[in-house]
Amino acid sequence: MTGKPIRWGVVGATTIGREWMIGAMREAGGEVVALMSSDRDRGAAYAGETGIPHATTDLAELLGSGIDAVYIATTNEKHRAQTLAAAAAGKHVLCEKPLALTLADAREMVEACRRAGVVMGTNHHLRNAATIRALRDAVAAGRIGKALFARVFHAVFLPPHLQGWRIKDAAAGSGAVMDITVHDADTLRFVLGDEPVAVTAMTQQGGMGGPGIEDGVMGVVRFRGGALAQFHDAFTTQYATTGFEVHGSEGSLIGTGCMTQRPVGEVVLRTAQGEEALTIAHENLYVRSVTAFQTAVRGEGAPVATGEDGIRSMALALAALTSASTGREAPVEPGI
């Protein structure tokens, strides 16, 4: 990467920032110059811990602090207003998923960035996984013939330090569907190179989610090209494995351990010729995401997942919730 480092403002004193994204910005050559938190003391402590030189509780102050881009990782109900403010200030926006709570809000965010001429990305990290890219490449190369079915195994255990708003606060966009299914939606679109048209889903309250908040879901998605995809997401399973499979007319791709934040997992191709472990060059998913975003800010290429991708992943997740509440198949209508 050439030129001056991209200067980042981080919106939200968050776990994802501490565990992955602040380090990724630095590893990708960026400079993290300011943090915004709603709480002065917590923000100051977080900035100290993560080595961010300036902390504020005022978004306008953050946006005016000489930054090029913001990384928005607050709880989901705050993404919209913060993105609109950043776009109005001419700052590029890398926003966490789900982009918002409604499709109308997500579309407004993407449109505001487009009008302001700033880059907007959605931080769907799984597109950056070497395993997921190997699956996509193999499907695109026709190695399994026509893709007929996909199966996504993404039931995990929400660790105690994350058992907050995700299972308690509906106003913040809680629940397994907006948290996990939204990632499956993006990964399925990416791997299959196809768009979902309808979904049928059932949700579960398995003992972790608060009143009315699902902590597990299973569903089936129909894609435009005819493929069916099954997904299983949860906060409650301590011992399940993750995976992503695609079964085609001439072969099957079996990805194991690949629906995760870490650069791990493997992919096996099974055909009439036998079994082949695909070569996987693991790399940090978040560094790759930030690197592509910064390159787009410099005028080359696009974020790995764009704002439009963020709308489309939300459209499938919201349709899954509609299906679960109505007991009927729901159309997936991103409206873009």
Task: Report the nearest approach of ligand NDP to the CB of residue 126 (Å).
Answer: 8
Does position 76 interact with ligand NDP (CB under 6 A)? The reply is yes
Nearest to 311 by CA among 146, 154, 142, 95: 95
Does position 125 interact with ligand NDP (CB under 6 A)? The reply is yes
Among 74, 187, 236, 237, binds ligand NDP (CB under 6 A): 74
- What is the spatial distance between Cα 59 and Cα 65, in angstroms, rounded to a whole number? 10
Handedness of CA 61, 106, 164, 153 (dihedral sign): negative
Task: Report the nearest approach of ligand NDP to the CB of residue 13 (Å).
Answer: 4
Smaller CB separation from ligand NDP, 21 or 147: 21
Smaller CB separation from ligand NDP, 139 or 305: 305
Among 205, 261, 295, 322, binds ligand NDP (CB under 6 A): 261
Smaller CB separation from ligand NDP, 43 or 248: 43
Cβ proximity of 311 and 107 under 8 Å:
yes
Task: Report the nearest approach of ligand NDP to the CB of residue 54 (Å).
Answer: 15
170 to 199, contacts with ligand NDP by CB under 6 A? Answer: 179
Nearest to 289 by CA among 33, 19, 28, 17: 28
Task: Report the nearest approach of ligand NDP to the CB of residue 149 (Å).
Answer: 26
Does position 200 interact with ligand NDP (CB under 6 A)? The reply is no
Binding mask 13-32 for ligand NDP (x = CB under 6 A): xxxx----------------
Q: Which stretch binds ligand NDP (CB under 6 A): 39-47, 108-116, 247-255, 310-318?
A: 39-47
Smaller CB separation from ligand NDP, 223 or 236: 236
Nearby residues of 246 by Cβ (< 8 Å), 6 or more positions away: 135, 138, 139, 144, 147, 149, 150, 191, 192, 252, 253
Cβ proximity of 69 and 8 under 8 Å:
yes
- What is the spatial distance between Cα 139 and Cα 154, in angstroms, rounded to a whole number? 20
Smaller CB separation from ligand NDP, 314 or 330: 314
Does position 162 interact with ligand NDP (CB under 6 A)? The reply is yes
- What is the spatial distance between Cα 11 and Cα 76, in angstroms, rounded to a whole number? 12
- What is the spatial distance between Cα 63 and Cα 65, in angstroms, rounded to a whole number? 6
Structure tokens, 33: 């110059």
Cβ proximity of 10 and 17 under 8 Å:
yes
Does position 264 interact with ligand NDP (CB under 6 A)? The reply is no
Distance in Å from the first CA to the final CA of the chain:
33
Does position 40 interact with ligand NDP (CB under 6 A)? The reply is no
- What is the spatial distance between Cα 86 and Cα 83, in angstroms, rounded to a whole number? 5
Does position 307 interact with ligand NDP (CB under 6 A)? The reply is no
Task: Report the nearest approach of ligand NDP to the CB of residue 4 (Å).
Answer: 27
Q: Which stretch binds ligand NDP (CB under 6 A): 7-15, 105-113, 151-159, 228-236?
A: 7-15
Phi, psi of 298, rounded to the nearest 5 degrees: -80, 0
> Could you list the residues that contact ligand NDP (CB under 6 A)?
12-16, 37-39, 42-43, 73-76, 96-97, 123, 125, 162, 164-165, 179, 261
